[in-house]
Amino acid sequence: MSVSEMFAALQGALGQDQDIREEIRKVVQALEQTAREILTLLQGVHQGPGFQHIPKKCQKAREHFGTVRTQMESLKTKFPADQYYRFHEHWRFVLQRLVFLAAFVVYLESETLVTREAVAEILGIEADRERGFHLDIEDYLSGVLTLASELARLAVNSVTAGDYARPLRISAFINELDSGFRLLNLKNDSLRKRYDGLKYDVKKIEEVVYDLSIRGLNKEATVGAGGEK
């Protein structure tokens, strides 16, 4: 094979790779748009009477996740199944955002932490990497850390809305989450930096709880804790 033939073959391979990346990019853009729609919907819980509409917002968000599953099915067809990590960077950010959104919905519904397997099911992908397009553990953990930041914000807005019991429950949840992360030996630099931010979320929520205590509102919250969430 001549040099010109060799480079012609290389050019063909490069062109094919670029075509794959372009197809992936189009689907990822659609996923990002759906993620923005879900986020916009869920942000309503932070506003005024938003707490009263949590069930409806969660139900609507789950309907949007139906669109996510369809888009994920399309994404799976855009690249060879054995080259997940070769193209992973293209969808890594939006997948982490979707993990956060799924985790936020589950928390709003039940005030529990969603499992990686449950998130994978919500998104229409696998939890086991051996079965194809899957939810990477680090992507799951990154989404969970974003949830922590969102809950810190929710704790503050709960007080503004006159819901004094919710920050106490959020505080207990975040402290348990922090304890869980302390069990992990995180070596990924990006994930480690994200985890370092968790201590600020813990501190922010502790300040909210402390303020409630100083104002004597924590007693009222404790009395009403057994009521409707």
What residues are designated binding site for Mg(2+)?
150
Q: Which two tokens stand for residue 34?
A: 């759906």
Annotated binding site, which residues? Answer: 150
CA distance 197 to 192: 9
Backbone angles phi, psi at 183, to 5 degrees: -80, -15
CA dihedral 44, 46, 52, 57 (to 10 degrees): 30
CA distance 155 to 217: 14
Tally Cβ neighbours within 10 Å of residue 203: 11
CA distance 15 to 23: 12
CA angle 38, 190, 109 (to 5 degrees): 30
% helix, strand, coil for the chain, step of 5: 80, 0, 15
Q: Smallest Cα–Cα separation from 215: which of 148, 154, 167?
A: 167
